[in-house]
Chain A
Amino acid sequence: MAEPTADLLFEIGVEEIPAPAVLPALAQLDKLLTDGLAEARLAHGQVRTFGTPRRLTIIVSDVALRQVDLAEEVKGPPAAAAFDADGNPTKAAQGFAAGKGLSVDDLEVRETDRGAYIFAQVTEPGRAALAVLPELLERAIASLTFPKTMRWGSLDFRFARPIRWLLALLGPDVVPVEVARLHSDRVTWGHRFLSDGPIAIAEPSEYLAKLEDAHVIADHRRRLQMIEERAAAAATEAGGRARLDPDLVEEVSFMVEYPTALVGHFDSRYLALPADVIVTVMSGHQRYFAVENPDGSLLPLFIAIRNGDEQGLDTVRKGNERVIEPRLADAEFYLTEDMRTPLPDRLESLQRVTYIEGLGSLYDKTERLEAIVHWLCAQVRQVEEAHQTHAARAARLSKCDLNTNMIGDTKLAKLQGRVGAEYARRSGEPEEVALAIGEQYRPISAADMPPATTPGRLVSLADKIDHVAACFRIGLRPTGSADPHALRRAAQGIVRIILDARWRIDLPEFIMLALGNLPENQNAKAIPEEQAAAQIHEFLLARLEAELDTRGVGYDLARAVLSAPSPDLLDAYDRALALRNIRSSDPEDFERVIMAAERTANICRGPKAELALTLDADALAEEHEVALYEAFEAAGAALESALAGPTPDYEAAWAAPAGMCGAIDTFFEEVMVMAEDEAVRLNRLALLAAIDDLLLRLLDVQQIVIEGEA
C-alpha cells in the first residue's frame, strides 16, 4: 500500500525584493528543502520554485505525511564492564539501557573486533510531517542568504526585504510556521492593484491558478516568455524589431507580476546621440528595450513593460514618454557641451584628475600606458607599424572621456571607453584609434569578449597591467571576496587577451616594467617593488589556473604545469593543454611515466636542494646506469628539438621522457642508488637530478595526483 502523501506549498510574501536576488534565493530554497526533507526522512516527489518581486514560492509534490521509522543499533559499554562476574548487569548496563528507554533484558551482547560489547536496538517511530515541517521551514527561511540583508520594525531578524506574509500548506492543512513575528496562514495576496483583498488557498494545487485570476503570473519562466513575446509583437506592430537583451529581459521579469508591453516614442532628433548612449539611457534606469531597423540602426521608439493589464495603457505610455524625454535631453546637452572641446584637447585637463592617491594623475597614467604599448610592440614583434601608431595614439587619448559631462553622469559612467570612441570619431581620429579606445576595458566580464583589434589588445593589456601594478604597489591587493579595485577582473583580462592574441610576453619583465613606470610614492602602505612583483606574478598565475580549469585541465595538472618555471603565460597554457590531451588519450601510459618520474624526483630532490650535484658521465660504470644515461641524453636531445623554434611542440616533447621510462624502471630495480661509496652515490643522484630537471621543463611531477595513490 502506498504511503499517503500531500503537496507542500510554501510562499514567503515580501516587499519588492531586488530582481537579481530572486533566482539565487529560489535555488537555495530548493536545496534547503530537498536536503531538509531527506534529513527529516520525508519522501517526496518533484520540487518546483516560483518567484515574483513580491513572493518566493516552493511547491513540493507528494510529501509523505509521516516520517519513515528510524531503526538504529547503538553500541554501549564493553560486556566486561556491563556485567559482573556472576553475569548480573552493572550500573553501567542499567544506565545505558535506561538512557535508550529500554530495560536491561533488551540489550544484546555481541563480539566485535575489539572484544564483546553490549548493543541496544533503538527505534524511533516516524512523526507526522505536519509536526516536523514547521521547524524545517523556519530553518529554511533563516538559512537563506542574500548579497545584502536588512532589518525592519523592532526586529533583529534579517532578510533581503521585509517579510509581510507566510503561506504554508501541506495538502489542506496549514503548516504552523512563525518567522519575524508573523504566523503562517492559508492566505496569499494577488496583484497589488488588480486584485481585491486576501486570497484563501484551499490546497496547493490551486495556488498558481488562483494567483493568475488575481493577475499574478507566479511562474517566472512564463513571465519571461510573455515579455519576450509581447515585446517582440509590440515592436513588430510599430515597424521594427525589439532588441531583447537577455539580461534585461530577465531583470524585468522579476520587476513585474503581470507583464504588458507598450511602445513609446521619443523625438527623432535624439537619434543623433551615440547609439550606446541612447540604449543605456533607456535600459539603464528605465529598463526599456530599444527598437531597431533591420540594419541594426535605432528607431525613435522604446518598449516598456508595465506591471498590469491594458487598462489605462495610454496614460502609462504618455507618462513613460515624459520620463525618457528629459533624460535624453540631458544626454544631448552633455554631447553638445562635450563637443565644444575635441577629445585630444582634453588631455591637459587630466593632469588635474587624480588616478589613485599617491600614484599621480590620469595624465601620468596615459603616459605610462603609451610606454607600455611601445614595450609590448617590441616584445610581440609581429605588430605592424600602423597598429603600433594607432595603439599609442589610443593609449594617449584613452582617458580623455573621463572628464566629459557624459561620463560624469553616474548613470552613463559605465559607457567609459565607448563614449571616448565615439568622441574620437567625431573629433576626426582614425577609426582604428576609436576602436581601440572603445575596447580598452574589455573584457568587462567573464561573458564579454576580449578586444578584437590589435591596437585594442595593446591598450587594454597596458591599462590592466598598469592598474594591477599600481594597486599591488600600494598594498591594495584583494583579500577574500573583497576586490574593490576589480583586480581579479583586470588580471583575468590580461590572461584572456594574451591567450586570445597568442602573444609571447616575458611575464617577469612585463610586471617589472609596469612597476618601474609608477611614480615614486610615499604611500604608507606601499610595499617593495620585488615583493609586489612576486605577488603580481602569483596573482596572474592564479588567474591562468582558473582559466585552465574552464578548459578541462585538472587542478593537479594545472598546478604541476604552473610549478614548472615558465617564460610566459601562453607557453604554460599550451603546455597544460597538450598534457591534458596526452593524459586523456592514454591515461595509463601517462601515469606510468609520471610514476617513474615521481620516483626519480622523490629520491633526488632532497639532496639536490642541499648539495651541489655534478654529473660525471665517464664515471658511470654499471650497465643499467649507463643505459639510463644514454636514454637521458637521447631524451634531452629530443626535448630540445621539440621545444626549439617559435612554436614548441609539447606532444613531441612529452615523447622524450616517455621514452626514458623503461630505463628508469630498470635502473631502480637493478641499481643501488644509495651506494656505500660516496662518489658513486652522488654521481647517481646527479644523474637522477638531471632527469628531474629535464622533466621540470614540462611539469612538476610531484604535483600530479594519481587515483589510488594516498
Chain B
Amino acid sequence: MTIQKIFATLDGFWAGQGCLLAEAYEIEVGAGTMAPDTFLRSLGPEPWNVAYVQPCRRPADSRYGENPNRLGRYFQYQVIMKPSPQQFQDLAVASIQQLGLDAHEHDIRFVEDDWESPTLGASGVGWEIWLDGMEICQYTYFQQVGGLQCRPVAVELTYGPERLAMYLQGVEDYRDLQWSDDVSYGELRFEEERQYSHYNLEIADIDMLAKMFEMCEAEARRVNEAGYPLPAYDYVLKCSHLFNLLDARGAISVSERTGMIVRVRNLASAVARTHVARREELGFPLLGEQAEA
C-alpha cells in the first residue's frame, strides 16, 4: 500500500465517521498537535471532528537523509474527535484493519504512554498502539491544552505513516517506500532531507535565529493582546520552530532550555485563553443546536 493510498484510505474511513477532512497548516510545526486544527479547536465546548495530514519538522532528527528510520521532516496523519466518542478505540482498530492488516495475523496492542508537551502547556492520558511491537499510532485523551482544562475531552489519534508504510510494504529504508506506484519516498524527498540537514545542523545562522525568536515572541504577545489570537498563534508556532532550530544547532544550554520552553508555553497559554474568549464572544458557533438544548 503506497503512502498516498494510506492517506486516501484513512481519509475515506474518517470522513465516514463524520470527520471533516482538513488540509495541513502552512507554518512549520513539530507535530500535528500543534496545528491550530488541534491545538485551538480542542479548546472550549464546541464539538470538533477532523482528520488531516500534517508535515512535521524536527530539525534535531536531521540525519542528512542517510538514516533509514529518521527524518528531519516527516508526516503525521492526525484525527481529532471532541467530545471523545464511546467507541473510539474500536474505530482506531478498525481504521488500522482498513489498511489491510488482519488483526489475527498480528499483535495489535494499546501500551500506556501518557503525553505531555511542555511548550504547549498540554498533557493527556493515552497509549501507543503497537503493531507487532512497533509503535504505529499515538492515542491520547487530552486533559489540558494551553494550560486550560479540556471540557469536553478531545481524543487524538496520530498515525506515523512512514512507519506504517515501511511495515506494509516490507521495506527497511524510508527511501525505498513507494509514495505512489511510480515515485519513491527517496526520489521525492531525499535531496530535501540532505539540504535541510545541512541547514539545520550546520548552516543556520544562530544569531539571526535568536533575534527572530525575540521578535516573534514580542509579536505574538502584541498581536494577542490586541485581541487577535489566530495570527498571534502563528508567531507562537514560529517561536517553537526557531527554538527547535537553535536546539538542533546546539546553541541552547541546559539552563537556557527550560527558560525558553517556559516562554513559549506562556505565549501558547495566553493565546489559548484569548481564543476561547473570542469563541465565547461569537457564541461558540459550532455548538449549534446543542447550545439551545
Contacts and interface: CB of A to CB of B under 8 A. Distances in A.
B133 interface: yes
Contacts of B112: 16, 18-19
Interface in A244-275: 255-256
Contact of B107 (A308, A322, A324, A352): A308
B143 A319 contact: no
Interface string B133-153: 110000001010000001111
B152 A16 contact: no
Contact of A255 (B104, B105, B109): B109
Nearest to B93: A192
Contacts of B155: 152
B211 interface: no
Closest 6 CB pairs between A and B? Answer: A319-B132, A312-B105, A320-B133, A150-B125, A154-B152, A16-B110
Which one of B84, B112, B151, B255 has the highest number of Cβ atoms from chain A below 10 Å of its Cβ? B112
B69 A326 contact: yes
Contacts of A286: 133
A354 B143 CA distance: 32
Given A153-B83, A307-B109, A315-B106, A16 B253 contact: no
22 contacts: A15-B127, A19-B112, A148-B114, A152-B153, A152-B155, A153-B153, A154-B151, A156-B151, A162-B141, A194-B104, A311-B105, A312-B104, A316-B107, A316-B132, A316-B133, A318-B132, A319-B106, A319-B132, A320-B134, A322-B172, A323-B134, A354-B254
B125 A148 contact: yes
Contacts of B206: none
Contacts of A162: 84, 141
Interface string A2-34: 000000000000011011000000000000000
Contacts of B253: 352, 354
Given A152-B141, A319-B167, A354-B254, A193 B108 contact: yes
A334 to B, nearest CB: 13
A218 interface: no
Which one of B84, B109, B132 has the highest number of Cβ atoms from chain A below 10 Å of its Cβ? B132
A315 B131 CA distance: 11
B283 interface: no
B89 interface: yes
A353 B150 CA distance: 37
A323 B111 CA distance: 15
A277 interface: no
B153 A164 contact: no
B85 interface: yes
A316 to B, nearest CB: 5
A151 interface: yes
A425 interface: no
Interface in B234-293: 253-255
Nearest to B124: A150
Given A153-B153, A316-B107, A323 B133 contact: yes
Contacts of A255: 109, 111
Which one of A152, A162, A164, A304 has the highest number of Cβ atoms from chain B below 10 Å of its Cβ? A152
Given A16-B127, A161-B125, A320-B132, A151 B143 contact: yes
A442 interface: no
Contacts of A161: 125
Contacts of B93: 192
Contacts of B110: 15-16, 53
Contacts of A153: 83-86, 152-153
Interface string A157-174: 000011010000000000
Nearest to B105: A312
Nearest to A304: B133
Given A150-B141, A152-B141, A154-B152, A193 B103 contact: yes
Nearest to A19: B112
B106 A312 contact: yes
B127 A319 contact: no
A154 B83 contact: yes
Contacts of B254: 352-354
Contacts of A19: 112
A188 to B, nearest CB: 16
Interface string B30-71: 000000000000000000000000000000000000001100
A272 B141 CA distance: 41
A312 B167 CA distance: 15
Interface in B143-173: 143, 150-153, 155, 167, 172
A131 B221 CA distance: 59
A295 interface: no
B167 A315 contact: no
Given A15-B127, A162-B141, A193-B103, 17 more contacts: A15-B89, A15-B110, A16-B112, A16-B127, A150-B125, A151-B141, A152-B153, A154-B83, A154-B152, A308-B107, A311-B104, A315-B105, A316-B132, A318-B132, A320-B134, A322-B167, A353-B254
Nearest to B167: A319
A315 B109 contact: no
Nearest to A288: B133
Interface string B72-111: 0000000000011110010001000000001111111111
A544 B68 CA distance: 53
Contacts of B89: 15, 164
Nearest to A287: B111
Interface in A337-356: 352-354
A357 interface: yes
Interface string B118-132: 000000010100011
Which one of A150, A156, A306, A353 has the highest number of Cβ atoms from chain B below 10 Å of its Cβ? A150
Contacts of A16: 109-112, 127
A183 B167 CA distance: 40
A148 B141 CA distance: 13
A474 B84 CA distance: 44
Nearest to B109: A307
A352 B250 CA distance: 12
Contacts of A322: 132, 134, 167, 172
Given A148-B114, A153-B85, A154-B83, A319 B133 contact: yes
A485 to B, nearest CB: 15
Contact of A193 (B104, B131, B167): B104
A441 B57 CA distance: 37
Contacts of B167: 319, 322
A352 B255 CA distance: 10
A333 to B, nearest CB: 9
Nearest to A317: B132
A193 B106 CA distance: 10
A192 to B, nearest CB: 7
B111 to A, nearest CB: 7
A246 B86 CA distance: 36
A352 B84 CA distance: 46
Which one of B69, B84, B107, B131 has the highest number of Cβ atoms from chain A below 10 Å of its Cβ? B107
Nearest to B255: A354
A311 B107 CA distance: 10
Contacts of A354: 253-255
A516 B120 CA distance: 40
A658 B159 CA distance: 76
A194 B172 CA distance: 30
A538 B254 CA distance: 33
Interface string A320-333: 10111010000000
Contact of B255 (A192, A318, A357): A357
Contacts of B127: 15-16
Interface in A277-320: 286, 304, 306-308, 311-312, 315-316, 318-320
B95 to A, nearest CB: 14
A319 B141 contact: no
Contacts of B84: 152-153, 162
